[in-house]
Structure 1
Amino acid sequence: MTSDSQYDLVILGGGAAAFAAITEASRRDLSTAMVNTGLPIGGTCVNVGCVPSKHLLAVAESGATATENPFDAVRYPEEPTVDWADALDGTDQLVERFRQENYIDVAEHFETDIYEGYGQLVDDTTIDVVDGADEGARITGKRALVATGSSPWAPPIDGLDDIDYYTSETILEERDLPESIVMLGGGYIALEWGQILHRVGVDVTLLQRSERVLSGMEGQLGREMQRAFEEEGINVITGNNFQRIRTPATDGGTETIQSGVVIETTVDGPERTVTGDALFVATGVQPNSEGIGLDTAGVKTNPDRTIRVDEHFQTTNPDIYAAGDVIGEPELETVAAKEGNHAVKNAFGDEDLSIDYDAVPAVVFTSPEVAAVGTTELEYMDEHGTCSCRTVQMEDVPRAKAVKNTDGLVQVVKHHETNEIVGVHMVGPRAADMIMEATLAVKFGLTVDDIIDTTHPFPTFSEAFKHACQAFRRDTSTMSCCVE
């Protein structure tokens, strides 16, 4: 295909940021085109991120129901099993439906031209398709948006480049799982995939470099999740200083056969060797910013290779904007979408919109779930030299006790003078849904008394947030269930 087409907006990428951008562009009657590079249309979230992982977390949770049943009155005649290949087939069908209904059909509705192939900026806001189905096409826009996303990142550990390993993308292609897996990483990807694999029958050992998992979140959350994982049977080793990764050699008779993986590490000084049948690297992501013509277009990057943008998502080329994972943290689908939306409004409407990232919630969809928004206790202490914080345990929440699902806690951080809620951090059942009330509190400056004065339905898990606010005003250990 060879063409030279003019549009109002041209986009390099085909994920959440790109589709939010074409939605806003359509509202403004702007012509749009995108070059979808890398993953199939829809990007990380629908293809290898949110949709497949949350589907498989639900599959794995159903498979673990018998072993984690807390009620003596409920009996299972036999332990459920999970057919991994069937689970992946179901995931593929779900992804295909999402991709068609939420992306391909949407692009058609907004009359966006989609070019499939590897795109490069070649002259200001001009993109050439240099490889793929539409190789040879050239599109030019009045403005351009770079939304190329990110890819799994592997750390520089001696020997890792010589080992075959899984990532959150490649594991979705593996129909026959090994008996044991060693996972590198302790963030949300490692925790979610570690629990999925453990619950479908894989022996999982999780190795984290820092002293706790979820090291970027409030400290209590990581400690609580490590306790929950170890109680479930997932081996978690923190404080690793990785020395080398290699494949053990075994005698195969006439030749030496390489099988499995060996991680040589030190933990608090002593050397330690961890072995498994396979390796899963879940140590974060890197921006897809190389080889797409940024230098040619005058777009500068930061030392970590993320695209440099101002608070309005404009790059160092005033006609080019960038959004999504390629500009850095937080690498979240909803954030990418909002960035893409704001980039179009700023580029074509001079609206100067930005995002308050302190009011963006983060969620880990494990069991128990993890959710957080705003300032941590340590961050507040560093800034103010004091902290007014309260924590309640889920085991003290009536709903959690009633359903025997008591893992977790809720911590509230408030301003020591104004009583405004500046941070909420939680582990527990349905934390991913509970965090939205806390997000509104942080975003709009609500106080702990505003939450206390709001009637909550009883009994619900959401009362845990209210109880944590009440802990600033009373001793909750002597509080009746229905005290307001």
Structure 2
Amino acid sequence: MAFDYDVVIIGGSPAGRYAAVTATQLRAKVALVEPAQRQGVAARSPLQDLLTPHTLSRMGLTQQLASVNQFDVNANADAAQNRKISLPWAEAMQWSSDVVANLEDQNSPAVLASLGVDFIQGAGQFERQPCLAFAVNGRRLLARSYLVAAGSRPAIPAIQGLQTTGYLTASEVWQPLTSPEPPKRWVIIGGDPNGCQLAQTLARLGLDVALIVSRSHILAKEDPEIAQLVQATLEAEGVRVLTATAVTQVKRIQDKKWIQAGNKAIETDEILLCAGQQPNVEALNLEAVGVKFYRHRLRLNLKLQTTNPRIYACGDAIGGYQFTNFSNYEARLALKNALFFPVFKVDYQSIPWTIFSEPQLARVGLTEAQARRIYGDRVLVLRQYFKTVAAAQLRDEITGICKLIVLRNGKILGAAIVGPQAGELINLISLAIAQRLKVDVLSDLAPAYPSLSEIFDQIAAEYRKASLNCNPLLQNLLEGFFNFRRS
């Protein structure tokens, strides 16, 4: 059978366009199918939805910096505490739109077409007969393999009264905040990364914020010790965090929204949902071509193949945390399997992610609990705090910790960092894991002073100390050696 394309990518997310560009770099013939753009006031690109929380965080940080004058010793403390500034929302929205436009131009339809991508806009679905194909706009696209890189939408929890009462999602926060009378009281349901980030931002904008999560701590996938540090930071900035609390009902009473959270009834002006994402794959007719689901998610093997071996998936389409670097990694690996031979398997051990709270939270590899389940007593946990780092002192950002999970032989299993520029610092540990470097290598860095990277030199020293304490033979040898030298 002759194929029209080497791969057809069913897009709708930034990962889809990234995959299309990557395929052209491999000299493959590729088609990219995207749903038609939404029209009207609500029209927003997936990249806009992705960047909205980051834009708001920038505004929250601007508010915080504008209301703090560290060196104004003559300022009246009460006046400084009550200082209000007018946030330039129109300028901020324009800035955000400009950033999105600049980024989208890099992989715009025109650029994709110039690279040789057959860009097709429209709603389509898979067909089995007379052979596997993807049908869109009256065409049947025949390819050796297919990559589902569809977008996602916010998951809406099944809470009584939620639909009739009304709610917002993360990408819609702009609308009420830019109104003449923005809502003062907010309840955020869900402790995913966007929920934590937006809770802190709204609090910094002077709003009353409650964050409700059903798990024992926010950021349920993270190390409890690390997540609790982020939670403490949110609470210190005025966010009320309700953990292990289920929202059972939402009502509107006399133009006010009420939320039943556990045994508490909370009155609020606005409800913000941050309870994860749901893949947009229902309309693709995947079941008809042998693709199976498990709990509303695609069933995949480690090669990112669905149960139809010619159909692969990546990014938002397969669920999990919505991190762009994860989606791009999956797109690269799935394409190699789809275009050549399916021999490459995903390995997330060296792929880092960052949650852009203040301070940032970044992690790579195994958590302490995961490592102990696998390796037991061979695990060594190293901790170093940013308050001991000169650069953190100079920045007045001393809240934070670097937690390294290693084996006693020095193999790095994972790391979690809460602190300034954690998203940049974690990349060094990620590289060390990918290259199978041991923690001893960190002591050879000799980082610039003062810099935040000094924390790695300190944690390497902590490892040497812990290793020596666990090795009585080496202690005796060293003590005997120096006794001999002194005699």
Q: Which residue of 2 aligns with 1:480?
A: none
Q: Which residue of 2 aligns with 1:421?
A: 412
Q: How much does 1:45 deviate?
A: 5.5
TM-score (norm 1): 0.86
Q: 1:95 aligns with which of 88, 92, 100?
A: 100
**SS class of match (1:273):** strand
Q: Deviations over 1:32-88 (max 9, x none)?
A: 2222127679x9762211x33323322321121033454456979964331334422
Q: How much does 1:296 deviate?
A: 1.8
**SS class of match (2:47):** helix
Q: Which residue of 1 aligns with 2:219?
A: 214
> Partner amino acid for 1:438?
I
Q: Which residue of 2 aligns with 1:132?
A: none
User: Does residue 126 of the first structure (1) align with residue 129 of the second (2)?
Assistant: no
Q: Which residue of 2 aligns with 1:256?
A: none
Q: Pairwise CA RMSD of aligned residues? A: 2.6
User: Does residue 341 of the first structure (1) align with residue 296 of the second (2)?
Assistant: no
**SS class of match (1:47):** helix
> Once structures 1 and 2 are overlaid, which stretch shifts more, 80-89 or 360-369?
80-89
Q: How much does 1:6 deviate?
A: 3.5
Contact kept? 1:289, 1:305, Cα under 8 Å: no
Separation in 1, partners of 2:119, 2:146: 15
Separation in 2, partners of 1:394, 1:471: 14
Q: 2:354 aligns with which of 357, 363, 381?
A: 363
User: Does residue 305 of the first structure (1) align with residue 296 of the second (2)?
Assistant: yes
Q: How much does 1:434 deviate?
A: 0.6
Change (3 A) 1:24 1:470: same
Q: Deviations over 1:315-349 (max 9, x none)?
A: 22222222112123343212212222222221221
Q: Please list every run of 5 or more consecutive structure 2 residues that lacks an aligned counterpart in the other structure.
A: 467-487
User: Does residue 444 of the first structure (1) align with residue 435 of the second (2)?
Assistant: yes
Q: Which residue of 2 aligns with 1:33?
A: 31
Contact kept? 1:48, 1:172, Cα under 8 Å: no
**SS class of match (1:183):** strand
Q: Which residue of 2 aligns with 1:15?
A: 13
Q: How much does 1:457 deviate?
A: 1.1
Contact kept? 1:212, 1:239, Cα under 8 Å: yes
% same residue: 27
Q: How much does 1:277 deviate?
A: 0.1
**SS class of match (1:64):** helix
TM-score (norm 2): 0.85
More helix by share: 2
Q: Deviations over 1:131-165 (max 9, x none)?
A: xxxx4444332322111132110222222232211
> Partner amino acid for 1:46?
L
Q: Which residue of 1 aligns with 2:61?
A: 61
> Partner amino acid for 1:92?
S
Q: Which residue of 2 aligns with 1:254?
A: none
Q: Which residue of 2 aligns with 1:478?
A: none
Matched ranges for 1:322-401 at <5 A: 322-350=313-341, 352-386=343-377, 387-401=379-393
Separation in 2, partners of 1:310, 1:93: 39
> Partner amino acid for 2:251?
R
Bigger Rg over Cα: 2
Q: How much does 1:188 deviate?
A: 0.5
> Partner amino acid for 2:135?
D
**SS class of match (1:472):** helix
Matched length: 450
Q: Which residue of 1 aligns with 2:47?
A: 46
> Partner amino acid for 2:57?
L
Contact kept? 2:231, 2:241, Cα under 8 Å: yes
Q: How much does 1:357 deviate?
A: 0.8
Q: How much does 1:474 deviate?
A: 3.7
Separation in 2, partners of 1:91, 1:392: 36
Contact kept? 2:13, 2:316, Cα under 8 Å: no
Q: 1:461 aligns with which of 452, 465, 472?
A: 452
Contact kept? 2:443, 2:456, Cα under 8 Å: no
User: Does residue 286 of the first structure (1) align with residue 278 of the second (2)?
Assistant: yes
User: Does residue 163 of the first structure (1) align with residue 159 of the second (2)?
Assistant: no
